[in-house]
Amino acid sequence: MKRALLRQIEIPKDVTVSLEGTKIKVKGPQGEVSRELNSGKTQVSVKDNKIILDHKKSTKNEKKIINTLYSHIKNMIRGTQKKFEYHLKVCYVHFPFTLKSDGKKVMVKNFLGEKVERVVQIPEGVEIEIKKDIIIVKSANKELAGQASANFETATKVRGRDRRTFQDGIFIIEKDGKKI
């Protein structure tokens, strides 16, 4: 059954939103996030301090698209007000390893006693703070913060050894204030 569907997002006072074609830019006190919206036939507009997602004859697929766009835009607004923060823990049992930050790369030295350094790539727009055995990843873009955290986990993944014995690695312990 096709029916009209409308979702509205209130824009806070300290945030500005601009829409240029299918690209949306959200600017706030903690930074700026932009995204290309693949909305299909869904109408996206900014009026009277509100973002309006509208579709005249929507089915369940259009409802899914509208709800996804709604969540993405809410995350963009929330990230520009307060940055998303991930906490990672450095864990080792056998060989103590060290981290060295070098611009947009982090070098992992002596992981499992390896002579070759492992390199973690940090996406543009992400801040990394290393405090002994805790790594803090901050970004206004939720996807970039999550990708940087995943890069740390995959770079220190143990391969070819028994995971029950070799429990070394870097693991996410907190995602945006929620303990894991």
CATH of the domain at 14: 3.90.930.12
Question: Which range of residues forms the domain containing residue 40?
Answer: 3-81
Q: How high is the pLDDT of residue 94?
A: 80
Both 45 and 94 in a single domain? Answer: no
Rounded distance between C-alpha atoms, residue 3 and residue 102, angstroms = 54
Both 61 and 110 in a single domain? Answer: no
Q: How high is the pLDDT of residue 175?
A: 94
Both 24 and 67 in a single domain? Answer: yes
Both 99 and 134 in a single domain? Answer: yes
Q: How high is the pLDDT of residue 39?
A: 79
Q: State the total domains in the chain.
A: 2
pTM: 0.89
Show which of 52, 81, 110 is a domain's final residue.
Answer: 81
Rounded distance between C-alpha atoms, residue 83 and residue 160, angstroms = 37
Stretch 20-24: mean pLDDT, rounded?
A: 91
Which pLDDT band holds residue 1 (cuts at 50, 70, 90)? low
Q: Which tens digits make up the pLDDT trace of 74-128?
A: 999 999 999 999 999 999 988 899 999 988 999 999 998 999 999 999 999 999 9
Q: How high is the pLDDT of residue 174?
A: 96
Q: What is the mean pLDDT of the chain?
A: 93
What are the residues whose beta carbons fall under 8 Å from the beta carbon of 11, sequence distance 6 or more?
17, 46, 49, 50, 51, 77
